[in-house]
Copies of this chain bind each other. A is one copy, B any other.
Amino acid sequence: MKTREKILEASIELFTASGYEGTSLGAIADKVGIKKPSLYAHFKNKEAIFLEAVEIGEAGYHDLLKRMINEQKGTAAHILRSLLEEAVAAFEEEHLLSQFYYRFLFFPPSALEEKIRSITTQGTRRLDALLADIIERGQEEGELTTELTIEQMLRSYLCMLGGTDFDIRYYQHSSVDRKAYLEMIWSVFWRGVKA
């Protein structure tokens, strides 16, 4: 791996763990195995490293979700349910990306707030469209109720995804708890959307 990529990889890990202000260039250089001034041969300054890390993190996170969505086959119920489980598992196993993504989406360094937001807003809409298709098909095939609109179910599903991520961080679930937790959440959602 090229030094430049190593720098970005190390940066994502350190920024995730310690935040923007809590991560020093010295710590990044140490993790890469070079000296601090060598960083400036690859990036203009700390801000440039961080913003490029944000771009990579955003792309990586949305690719991960997109791949998950596209891999699912079967009924809408099965797809939505599997996706919930996989997404939640990813919060833990591949949690570096999602931690990085959400940390700086919600709590960006104040000076870079606008720049970050302009990077992240693009990928979101495409994911929404993929999910909306799945829900629409579920409705057409009589699995999902027609008493609700596609958008109502889409928003609720996304709310469930976000809330699950939220709760897992909040309550620090073990993997046993998590399985039971997902079952509980899903059962109410499914009761709410099934035909």
Measured CB to CB, the residues of A under 8 A from B are: 17-22, 102-103, 105-107, 109-110, 124, 145, 147-149, 151-153, 155-156, 158-167, 169-171, 181, 184-185, 187-193
The 20 listed contacts between A and B (C-beta, < 8 Å) are A18-B21, A18-B110, A19-B20, A19-B21, A107-B107, A124-B171, A145-B191, A147-B191, A153-B188, A155-B167, A159-B163, A159-B167, A159-B185, A162-B163, A162-B167, A163-B164, A188-B189, A188-B192, A191-B191, A192-B192
A22 contact from B21, B155, B160, B167, Cβ within 8 A: B21
Give every chain B residue within 8 A of A193 (Cβ-Cβ).
188, 191-192
Contact between chains at B162 and A110 (CB < 8 Å): no
- Whole-angstrom CA separation of A170 from B102 in the bound complex: 9
Chain multiplicity (copies): 2
- Whole-angstrom CA separation of A156 from B124 in the bound complex: 24
If the complex has contacts A103-B107, A164-B163, are A156 and B21 also in contact, measured as CB distance less than 8 A? no
Contact between chains at A152 and B188 (CB < 8 Å): yes
**Which of A153, A159, A160: most chain B Cβ within 10 A?**
A159
- Whole-angstrom CA separation of A110 from B102 in the bound complex: 17
Give every chain B residue within 8 A of A20 (Cβ-Cβ).
19, 22
If the complex has contacts A21-B19, A107-B103, are A162 and B151 also in contact, measured as CB distance less than 8 A? no
CB distance from A133 to the nearest CB of B (A): 18
Q: Give the residue name and chain of the B residue nearest to A17 (CB).
A: B110
A167 contact from B158, B181, B191, Cβ within 8 A: B158
The 5 closest A-B pairs by CB, nearest first: A163-B163, A192-B192, A162-B166, A159-B163, A156-B188
- Whole-angstrom CA separation of A161 from B166 in the bound complex: 10
If the complex has contacts A21-B21, A164-B163, are A189 and B187 also in contact, measured as CB distance less than 8 A? no
Give every chain B residue within 8 A of A107 (Cβ-Cβ).
19, 103, 107
CB distance from A4 to the nearest CB of B (A): 26
